[in-house]
Amino acid sequence: MPNKYAFVIDGEGKTLSPTKFNNAFRLVRIGKAKLLSKYPLVIQLNKVVAEKEIDTTKIVLGIDDGAKKVGFALVQQCKNKNKVLFKATMHQREDVSKKMEKRQGYRRYRRSHKRYRPKRFDNRSASKRKGRLVPTIKQKKQAIIRVVKRLNKYIRIDKIILEDVAIDIRKVIEGRDLYNWEYQNSNRLDENLRKATLYRDDCTCQLCGATDTMLHAHHIIPQRDGGADSIYNSITLCESCHNNKVDDNEYEYKDQFLAKIDGKELNLKAPMHVMQGKHWLREQLAKTANLETIAGGDTANRRIDYNINKSHSNDAICITGLLPVDTISIKQYIIKPLRKKSKAKIKELKGFRQKDLVKYTKRDGTEIIGYITSLRIKNNKYNSKVCSFSNFEGKTYRGYGFRNLELLDRPQDLMFA
């Protein structure tokens, strides 16, 4: 079983050091504390703890910012053994752009069918505001701030370290240093061939399909034979395929790899979503605690030194720079930002609501943890009530009854599981 920690606050709301999961439930059971939240587990002691009794060992929050997923990790700097207190991966919302397009369509329909007025761009002061972030980008940065503020309510954060990701696509494509005048119309993101290759290949090994593992940018034609150091001569491979299959057998896979990347366009959406708004994000994070940044290459080097498998939450641990004793046996939380407003036609069925965190038990005993996406009443002679729910890997289960469904939590703006 993975280690689990519970956040602890005293009777006045002061943040204390976390405690083990079982001890937290013991304190609740014997009446020395009350349960504030189950996901994540937060308890409040009945007594007030004096300032001099509060443990002040340093706690660092690492954040691995990504376009689709964001890693968080809280590591406590202890005298003998650094402890990972919390690690999580947040799945960013990907539906905002489509919803905005849909709303735009409604707006245009009303203007064309109900009333007419000429377009007035000058009237859109928000669109012309200096430093404005587009909503699709801003909501992702705001989701990170929401998680940090939530954690800061439960635990003292002494320092925040954010990974600064940057890729210079122009230099990567051309494989050479550019003159100053060539940067005038460039897409400056940073000089990192490996990251550009991984983004293009959707961070997936192009030989075995592995994702959450150490990934390498392999030169299809070796540099020792004159192969170019550009993205057109690079492909993403996992560490196992690279070291055990392809290494020293490059020409055996040459045609296969060239065919895979032939005509493949650079996917700039992911790096651009990370790059845009990063200054705004830094300003907001600095209001919570001391903020530092770290380069992506340093994170990768630490992950190799610490011998930790690649994942967003594990990268967040490496970002803190505190070598932990144990990372594998720490519970991995999944976080999902939620819309503040719900447009569900059916508000409640059988005591369940949309967005509720639930557990469904199949007949064979298999348990599925997910969140309700819809509630409906079937139009048949039995007038049966069913729901649909999704797990955190994106799989949807439709038309399930409520008999084997158990309510775990009713989140408001952030879902922890």
What is the pLDDT averaged over residues 80-93? 90
What pLDDT sits at residue 60?
A: 94
- pTM for the whole thing? 0.76
| Integer Cα distance of 388 and 354 in angstroms | 9
What type of residue is 230?
S
CATH class of 338-416: mainly beta
Higher model confidence: residue 235 or residue 112? 235
The structure tokens listed for 74 are: 């809280």
Taking domain 59-93+136-165+276-336, whether its CATH number is 3.40.50.880 is answered by no
pLDDT above 70 coverage of the chain, percent: 83
Find the Cα–Cα–Cα–Cα dihedral 301, 302, 306, 312, rounded to 10°: -100
Higher model confidence: residue 211 or residue 150? 150
Residue 191 scores a pLDDT above 50: no
Task: Evaluate whether 202 touches 283 at the Cβ level (below 8 Å).
Answer: no
What pLDDT sits at residue 187?
A: 41
What pLDDT sits at residue 79?
A: 79
Any idea how long the chain is?
417
Q: What is the pLDDT of residues 22-53, one digit of tens each?
A: 999 999 999 999 999 989 999 999 999 988 88
- φ, ψ of residue 167 to 5 degrees: the values are -135, 130
Q: What is the pLDDT of residues 153-173, one digit of tens each?
A: 999 999 999 988 665 555 555
| Integer Cα distance of 99 and 318 in angstroms | 36
Residue 89 scores a pLDDT above 70: yes
Smallest CA-to-CA distance from 333 within 86, 156, 37, 160 is with 86
Task: Evaluate whether 133 touches 153 at the Cβ level (below 8 Å).
Answer: no
Confidence of residue 129 (pLDDT cuts 50, 70, 90): low
Which H, E and C letters describe the chain, residue by residue? CCECEEEEECCCCCEEEEEEHHHHHHHHHCCCEEEEEECCEEEEECCCCCHHHCCCCCEEEEEECCCCEEEEEEEECCCCCEEEEEEEEEECCCCHHHHHHHHHHHHHHHHHHCCCCCCCHHHCHHHHCCCCCCHHHHHHHHHHHHHHHHHHHHCCCCEEEEEECCCCHHHHHHCCCCCHHHHCCCCCCCCCHHHHHHHHCCCCCCCCCCCCCCEEEEECCCHHHCCCCCHHHEEEEEHHHHHHHHCCCHHHHHHHHHHHHCCCCCCCHHHHHHHCCHHHHHHHHHCCCEEEEEEHHHHHHHHHHHCCCCCHHHHHHHHHCCCECCCCCECEEEEEECCCCCCCCCCCECCECCCCEEEEECCCCCEEEEEEEEEEECCCCCCCEEEEEECCCCCEEEEECCCCEEEEECCCCEEEC
What is the pLDDT averaged over residues 206-210? 90
Task: Evaluate whether 218 touches 258 at the Cβ level (below 8 Å).
Answer: no
CA end-to-end distance (rounded Å), the chain: 16
What is the pLDDT averaged over residues 359-383? 83
| Integer Cα distance of 220 and 197 in angstroms | 12
What is the pLDDT averaged over residues 64-87? 89
What is the pLDDT averaged over residues 388-416? 88
What is the pLDDT averaged over residues 243-271? 81
Higher model confidence: residue 381 or residue 13? 13
Calculate the average pLDDT of the chain. 82
What pLDDT sits at residue 319?
A: 92
What is the pLDDT averaged over residues 340-360? 85
Rounded to 10°, the helix 135-154/278-286 angle is 20
Smallest CA-to-CA distance from 320 within 78, 20, 16 is with 78
372 by Cβ neighbours in 10 Å (0-12 / 13-18 / 19+) ranks as buried
Give CA separation, 368 vs 5, 44, 80, 353, in Å.
Answer: 23, 30, 39, 17
What pLDDT sits at residue 213?
A: 82
Domain spans of the chain? 5-53, 59-93+136-165+276-336, 190-267, 338-416
What pLDDT sits at residue 294?
A: 87
Task: Pick the range with the lowest mean pLDDT from 240-254, 293-307, 343-357, 400-414.
Answer: 293-307
Give CA separation, 33 vs 12, 86, 411, in Å.
Answer: 13, 21, 22
Q: What is the pLDDT of residues 94-115, one digit of tens each?
A: 887 788 778 777 777 776 666 6
Question: In 10 A of CB 220, how many CB atoms?
Answer: 21
What pLDDT sits at residue 268?
A: 59
| Integer Cα distance of 305 and 300 in angstroms | 9
What pLDDT sits at residue 67?
A: 80
